[in-house]
């Protein structure tokens, strides 16, 4: 969204001398789609003040309008620092890190992994499910029936599981926690990966990566109905 488009959008809200709820929602939607940088938001705020100055003395309620516009354009909270960490097996306690993330989740856990055979991780998933955390799991059909697979157990406990049933493999190994933290890497959630294999995963709160993987998860979830 260039500055001229932004000016037109704001000027349209000045016609009735109010910044209504509907206009606020429309501006929020435009900003969500445009995803402006902090610098662009600062420029938009500057333009809002310029438009207010230009209309000062000509319209009643201009300061009320400006106050409501700036509420939308001002950052709700400081920009979060991106934190990313890498874990390797054998060596690092990969199962421990995964179970920590499961236990720390407050609302949702979306898991998309080729196979799950590590009982400690499965137990943590069941505990989180019983605590009211909304959990969705996508896994591969061929691996879900392997000896030691915990998928059937998780289903019996009421965890929502969907299975890939094509001639190919669902080979992802990622999980998203509370829509804000991503785990992704080569690491399968198995005892062999923890004890013997050379594996890795990263944990990050990078919003762009979380969003990308969340989009893929939703696509697969709808595909494997």
Catalytic residue among 173, 181, 206, 211: 173
Active site residue 173: yes
Active site residue 169: no
Q: Which long-range contacts (CB under 8 A, 24 or more apart) does 39-47 make?
A: 41/73, 41/74, 41/75, 43/3, 44/3, 44/6, 44/73, 45/70, 45/73, 45/74, 47/3, 47/6, 47/7, 47/10
Catalytic residue among 7, 123, 178, 206: 178
Active site residue 178: yes
Task: Characterize the bridge pairing of strands 134-140 and 108-113.
Answer: parallel
Task: Evaluate the CA torsion angle 172, 173, 178, 181 in order and state its sign.
Answer: negative
- Please tell me the distance from the alpha carbon of residue 87 to that of residue 203, in angstroms, as a whole number: 8
Catalytic residue among 29, 171, 196, 211: 171
- Please tell me the distance from the alpha carbon of residue 147 to that of residue 63, in angstroms, as a whole number: 69
- Structure token digits, residue 195: 């004890």
Query: Which residues does the annotation mark as catalytic?
Result: 171, 173, 178
């Amino acid at each position: 969204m260039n500055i001229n488009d932004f000016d037109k959008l704001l000027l349209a809200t000045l016609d009735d001398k109010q910044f209504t709820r509907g206009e606020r929602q429309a501006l929020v939607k435009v900003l969500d789609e445009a995803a402006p940088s902090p610098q662009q938001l600062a420029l938009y705020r500057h333009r809002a003040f310029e438009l207010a100055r230009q209309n000062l003395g000509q319209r009643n309620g201009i300061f009320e309008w400006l106050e409501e516009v700036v509420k939308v354009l001002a950052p709700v909270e400081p920009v979060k620092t991106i934190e990313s960490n890498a874990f390797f097996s054998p060596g690092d306690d990969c199962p421990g890190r995964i179970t920590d993330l499961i236990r720390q989740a407050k609302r949702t856990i979306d898991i998309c992994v080729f196979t799950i055979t590590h009982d400690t991780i499965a137990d943590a998933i069941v505990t989180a499910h019983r605590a009211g955390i909304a959990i969705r799991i996508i896994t591969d059909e061929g691996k879900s029936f392997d000896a030691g697979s915990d998928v059937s157990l998780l289903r019996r406990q009421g965890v929502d599981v969907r299975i890939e049933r094509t001639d190919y493999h669902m080979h992802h190994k990622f999980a998203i926690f509370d829509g804000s933290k991503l785990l992704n890497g080569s690491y399968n959630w198995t005892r062999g990966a923890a004890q013997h294999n050379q594996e890795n995963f990263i944990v990050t709160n990078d919003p762009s990566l979380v969003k990308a993987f969340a989009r893929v998860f939703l696509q697969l979830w709808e595909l494997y109905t």
